Structure 1
Amino acid sequence: MSVHVLHGDSFLVQESLKEKYAEIGPLDVVDSNSHRYQADQIKLEDLRVVCAALPFLASMRLVVVEGLMSEIEEVRFRSRGKRRDPKRFSGWDGIVDVIQELPPTTSLVFVDGVVRPDNKLLALIKPHAVVRTLPTPKRDELSRWVRDRVRMRATKITPGAVQLLSHHIGPNLRLLDLELEKLSLFASDRPIEERDVEELVPQVRDISIFVAVDAILEGRSGTALLALSQLRRSGANLSYILAMVARQLRLITLAKEMLSSGMATRELGSRLEIRAEFALKKTIEQAKKFTWERLKILYESLLEMDLAVKEGRMAEDIAIELMVGTSLVEQ
């Protein structure tokens, strides 16, 4: 069948579309035998004309229409309770005629994002097309997808590295693929390991410092030491770690003062410039839990450690262990 519908995750849709281009032939053949249109760039009659043309020095032509189903989908606007203008669909109610007139030398492909099952255009096209729904993989499926992409590059990856990538980047397949390309080149002929991900992937490296800071301040020594060890292996120095701990202590101190004055949570988040709901909630919980005396002792300990390292009286690794120990003592 020469009519296809690819809809779902944008990365998976584009990957499937690449396969359609490859079926046409080499790049120079594809350039002269393929046309790609956005939904607002073409009308039904124009599509009819384009599809009717014969291939040039090739056996097939490819015509791609992108975003058409979502563009004309009748959905209720949540904010205004209105429906899209039905006239926007009327221009395409003859799409079946175009499909039936399609010459055997033309492959027509509709690509789109997530489309509702009751989409009117999809309902018209579906009986005459091969429809591929490509949902974004999640949880175990996402881990399997990561392993498959690594295998495509003739490389291997450890389960721990898969878990780190899946957890910290999530189902952003385009970003995951870019990071896997970088990691594959870095690892070369050995498996991609957790330390590679910690060192090269910004999302993992940045999140590790926040995990470490929270664990230090909350007295979770095991988590703190593990996260700090990962940070040290990735090149983080003591000054950076101390600065991040001091930053969170400052936020906790300010939040505690604002809470005592009766400030609302929303305004507090704005004043502290914390936009992430989870981070704001965590800071408020810590502010309620920490006493003024404990905050003072932690501040003094940070200052003493910083001076001891800078004056050569203490090694960085010892200072890090002492910082975790100080937090435990003050629990």
Structure 2
Amino acid sequence: MNENGKRIELICGENDYLKKQYINSLVSKETLTDQENVSEVIYIDGKSASIEELQNALMTIPFFAEYNLVVIYNLIEKYKNNTDTKKKSAKKGSNNWNTILEFFNSLPIQKQILLVEHWQTPKDITGNPSDEKKDLKVEVDHLIEKLGLKNLTITKQFKNLLPIELETWITKELLNNGKKISNRNARLIAEYVGNDMWTLSNEIEKILNYCQGEIIEEEHLEILINNTKEMQIFKLVDLLLDENIAVSFKNIPSIFESGYSTQYLLSMLSRQMRLLIIAKQLSSMNSSKTIYKDKLGIYSDYVIDNIISQVGNRDMDVLLKLYEKISELDIAIKTGAINENIVFDNLISNRVVN
């Protein structure tokens, strides 16, 4: 995060797994402690944080730590329309952004800043559907310049991997854990799971736990790779979308018997809701299954058929509201604003209210 002396980094893109992996790598690096170098990490929800909270996180010099990583979620999204930084404005939002810009321009040397934005396509920034096919990084860099952050910030985009890139990633992940796999078997995994790297990571973990030898054979894959996790997520989404929410109360606890963490389940729910929203858009255009596969980045007919079936007659407004609530809870866990033990009670209660 010190490229050309810049201590602010902004990450975005559609590949949530790689974004999460990158954040974890920075956090792990910052929290590796020894007697000479102690670091700490602060998490902030940029959409809800007050100016005072941001000032405290950005400007306060750590007392015990030598370095300080501050991870801020969706701060630029909140202030993206305050692009006239040269003129004073009577608008409160504009004044707030100019104050934040002053913080960024005078960061203590101990601070490293990571801005995490939810943007997946340029239209998430501009709000214009016709911008979907533009280059996201170009749009982000343009916005950063208009906000007065160009000389302070580097940007990184995490894209979905192409099939050949998925195969390479699978091979590398296994090799890093002392296992070897043929190109053909890596391709089998990639073709079955598709561009869902959360599932890929889970399948690789199962392979590592199951396979005792150094070489991953095809029979290992036949035993391990299955649709159990996908069906659990499908079921959980169905229950949350079910109008008979009383039934959901009775059935949701059984889904957690698999041992998946709350954070993992929320990430998978968020991903599933995004897929349903895209599928809903495609269904209105009578799209072919090939187009579904291309747009969703999924190559398994089984998974595509389940998504098409699940989206059915679901109302787009309901899908969007549930996705928004899941995203809010995900950030709340990351920033410590909510106890993960009550996350799903909160989610279900929200469905009851709405």
State TM-score, norm by structure 2. 0.49
Q: Which whole-Å deviations, capped at 9, do the CAs of 1:49-68 have from their partners, x for residues lacking one?
A: 22111223321011110133
Q: Which whole-Å deviations, capped at 9, do the CAs of 1:196-251 have from their partners, x for residues lacking one?
A: 122111149999xxxxxxxxxxxxxxxxxxxxxxxxxxxxxxxxxxxxxxxxxxxx
Whole-Å separation in 2 of the counterparts to 1:171 and 1:101: 41
Given that 1:24 and 1:59 are in contact with CA atoms closer than 8 Å, whether structure 2 keeps it comes out as no
Given that 1:6 and 1:16 are in contact with CA atoms closer than 8 Å, whether structure 2 keeps it comes out as no
The answer to whether structure 1 residue 14 and structure 2 residue 20 are counterparts is: yes
1:111 to 110, 116, 135: 116
SS of 1:202's partner is coil
Shift in alpha-carbon separation, 1:88–1:201, aligned structure 2, 3 A: farther
Aligned to 1:68: 75
One-letter amino acid of the counterpart of residue 11, structure 2: L
The answer to whether structure 1 residue 54 and structure 2 residue 61 are counterparts is: yes
Given that 2:160 and 2:195 are in contact with CA atoms closer than 8 Å, whether structure 1 keeps it comes out as yes
The structural deviation recorded for 1:23 is 3.0
The structural deviation recorded for 1:113 is 3.2
Unaligned 5+ residue runs, structure 2?
A: 1-5, 82-90, 123-137, 232-285, 287-304, 310-354
The answer to whether structure 1 residue 92 and structure 2 residue 97 are counterparts is: yes
Whole-Å separation in 1 of the counterparts to 2:181 and 2:67: 39
The structural deviation recorded for 1:101 is 1.0
One-letter amino acid of the counterpart of residue 197, structure 1: L
Whole-Å separation in 2 of the counterparts to 1:3 and 1:205: 37
Aligned to 2:260: none
The answer to whether structure 1 residue 133 and structure 2 residue 157 are counterparts is: yes
Shift in alpha-carbon separation, 1:55–1:190, aligned structure 2, 3 A: same
1:191 to 210, 215, 225: 215
The answer to whether structure 1 residue 26 and structure 2 residue 38 are counterparts is: no
Decide which structure has the larger Cα Rg and report it.
1
Given that 2:10 and 2:115 are in contact with CA atoms closer than 8 Å, whether structure 1 keeps it comes out as yes
The structural deviation recorded for 1:3 is 1.3
Aligned to 2:178: 154
Whole-Å separation in 1 of the counterparts to 2:28 and 2:110: 15
The structural deviation recorded for 1:32 is 8.0
Unaligned 5+ residue runs, structure 1?
A: 75-85, 208-264, 266-273, 279-331
Shift in alpha-carbon separation, 1:45–1:10, aligned structure 2, 3 A: same
The answer to whether structure 1 residue 200 and structure 2 residue 224 are counterparts is: yes
Shift in alpha-carbon separation, 1:3–1:190, aligned structure 2, 3 A: same
One-letter amino acid of the counterpart of residue 47, structure 1: L
Given that 1:68 and 1:112 are in contact with CA atoms closer than 8 Å, whether structure 2 keeps it comes out as yes
Whole-Å separation in 2 of the counterparts to 1:199 and 1:160: 17
Aligned to 1:243: none
Given that 2:18 and 2:158 are in contact with CA atoms closer than 8 Å, whether structure 1 keeps it comes out as yes
Whole-Å separation in 2 of the counterparts to 1:153 and 1:140: 20
Shift in alpha-carbon separation, 1:93–1:198, aligned structure 2, 3 A: farther
The structural deviation recorded for 1:145 is 1.3
Aligned to 1:164: 188
Given that 2:30 and 2:39 are in contact with CA atoms closer than 8 Å, whether structure 1 keeps it comes out as no
State TM-score, norm by structure 1. 0.52
Aligned to 1:39: 46
Aligned to 1:325: none
Q: What percentage of residue pairs aligned between the two structures are identical?
A: 19
Given that 1:160 and 1:194 are in contact with CA atoms closer than 8 Å, whether structure 2 keeps it comes out as no
SS of 2:12's partner is strand
SS of 2:47's partner is helix
Given that 1:65 and 1:111 are in contact with CA atoms closer than 8 Å, whether structure 2 keeps it comes out as yes
Shift in alpha-carbon separation, 1:113–1:162, aligned structure 2, 3 A: farther
Deviating more after overlay: 102-111 vs 88-97:
88-97
